[in-house]
Amino acid sequence: MEKKYWKPEVLELDNHQFEEDMKVYLQDRTMQNLIKFANSLKDAKFLVPVEFPKEIDPAVLEKMKKKERLAPEEVPRMLPILVVNKKGDRFAPVFTGKDEFPKDHKYSVIMTVDFPAVLRVARAKSSNTKGILINPNSTRLILNPSLLDVMEKVIQGEDMETVLKAQAAQAGTQKKEIKMTAQQFHVFVRRSVEIGLFPKIAFREKGALMERLSQEGEEAVCKIYKGMYKDQVQFPYEPGDFDVMVLDISDKMSVAAITLPVKNMAPGICQSVYLIWNPQTEEMQYYTIEKTKIEDENKLGHVTGDGKYEIIGDAPVQGSELSGIIELVQKSE
């Protein structure tokens, strides 16, 4: 069926500054970058898929077919289209530009909407959403209820920086009140390091990290984990719990294969990670082998330079993970 857009000119948006501020924030989630991102968000416009209500007054429908002008009170109320994840959570999707829509999308009506209007939809009780989802097919950034609380106050006239810092202070107090068992803390740290801190270090230090891994090996990796513990829980690992192998595959590829501790292994935790470094282009890639609930059915994960983590498929057969990932990278070149 031919796609029809309500007022095609609305598809042309200039969100360059917002997208740049969002990219900076995703790469380094500091308070300063959050404030800049939130200020851009407040003034941004988005493309939003909507649909007509199922029942429209026949007289109004006839006017629409004839392309006659409708009186304001005759214009049908547009209904936002929500997306639902596997858990059943609902989100209000927004797109920063027409290129963010999949080519085969089924949306028949797309409108330009400013952020306050999107916020009203996401906060409406009838929507029952868990937040706003920016660019569902690429960025996949979720604006959760706590951030929406902030944006609602800012739109009402409160100072952005003051509101954000007050919320951060409150969240810090709440975190102190949350108690974890030692085992829960070990799992929390592993997840935080393996898909958060470690790839962040890899993309920041690049060749310098590869050199350090080559020289210090297991000691270097062990220090990264140890830095997360401070004095909260006794650090459970020793360098011997890790295994680091750095290989120069070619003049365009160096690989660091890092086997992680068997201790505190659980579904969602990585059994190993692989850093793929191209010294000529200075491109870093970061892959994981993640344990699942099913024995011997691990998953292959990938973290991008902007911090996005996703499962991209089944892991290579156990024992051939390194060769499988190298082959995957070479095919993509």
138-155 pLDDT, tens digit each = 889 999 998 898 898 888
Same domain for 271 and 134, yes or no, is no
Same domain for 160 and 233, yes or no, is no
> Is residue 211's pLDDT more than 80?
yes
Question: In the predicted model, what is the mean pLDDT of the chain?
Answer: 86
Extended strands (E) in 18-115? 45-51, 79-80, 83-84, 90-94, 109-114
Q: Provide the percentage of residues in the chain whose pLDDT is more than 70.
A: 90
pLDDT of amino acid 5? 44
Which residues contact residue 316 at a Cβ distance below 8 angstroms, ignoring those fewer than 6 apart? Answer: 300, 323, 324, 325
Q: Which residues span the domain enclosing 157?
A: 8-173
Same domain for 218 and 284, yes or no, is yes
165-184: average pLDDT: 67
Residue 100 lies in a domain: yes
pLDDT of amino acid 180? 72
Same domain for 153 and 247, yes or no, is no
Tally the domains of the chain: 2
Q: Which residue has the higher pLDDT, 99 or 200?
A: 200
Question: What's the helix, strand, coil split of the chain in %, to 5?
Answer: 40, 20, 35
Full DSSP string of 258-325: EEPPSTT--TTSEEEEEEEEETTTTEEEEEEEE--SSTT--EEEEE-TTS-EEEEEEPPPTT-HHHHH
Same domain for 198 and 152, yes or no, is no
Inter-helix orientation angle 16-27/31-43, to 10°? 160
Residue 180 lies in a domain: no
Domain end position, chosen among 142, 173, 204: 173
Burial 295-310 (b: 16+ CB within 10 A, else e): eeebbbbbbebebeee
Same domain for 132 and 211, yes or no, is no
Same domain for 167 and 202, yes or no, is no
Q: By three-state DSSP, how is residue 221 classified? A: helix
Q: Provide the percentage of residues in the chain whose pLDDT is more than 90.
A: 46
- Closest Cα to residue 239, out of 256, 225, 227, 228? 225
Same domain for 250 and 323, yes or no, is yes
Domain end position, chosen among 148, 173, 198: 173
Same domain for 165 and 29, yes or no, is yes
- Closest Cα to residue 191, out of 285, 300, 87, 266? 266
Q: How confident is the model at residue 239 (pLDDT cuts 50, 70, 90)?
A: very high
Query: What's the pLDDT tens digit per position in 88-138?
Result: 899 999 999 988 888 888 887 788 888 998 898 888 887 889 999 999 988
> Is residue 280's pLDDT more than 80?
yes
Side-chain half-sphere CA neighbours of 211 within 13 A: 5
Give the integer Cα–Cα distance in Å for 246 and 81. 49
Domain end position, chosen among 139, 173, 207: 173
Angle at 178 between CA 177 and CA 179, to 5 degrees: 110
pLDDT of amino acid 159? 83
Helix (H) or strand (E) holding 177: helix 160-177
Which of 60-74, 119-133, 157-171, 254-268 has the weakest average pLDDT? 60-74
| Long-range Cβ contact pairs of 275-281 (< 8 A, separation 24 or more) | 275/202, 275/209, 275/210, 275/213, 276/325, 276/326, 276/329, 277/206, 277/207, 277/210, 277/253, 278/252, 278/253, 278/254, 279/207, 279/251, 279/252, 279/254, 280/251, 280/252, 281/252
182-188: average pLDDT: 88
165, 39 contact by CB (below 8 A): no
| Dihedral sign for Cα atoms in the order 165, 166, 170, 171 | negative
Give the rounded distance of the alpha carbon of 95 from its chain centre. 15
138, 100 contact by CB (below 8 A): yes
Query: What's the pLDDT tens digit per position in 296-322?
Result: 789 999 999 988 899 999 999 888 999
Residue 27 lies in a domain: yes
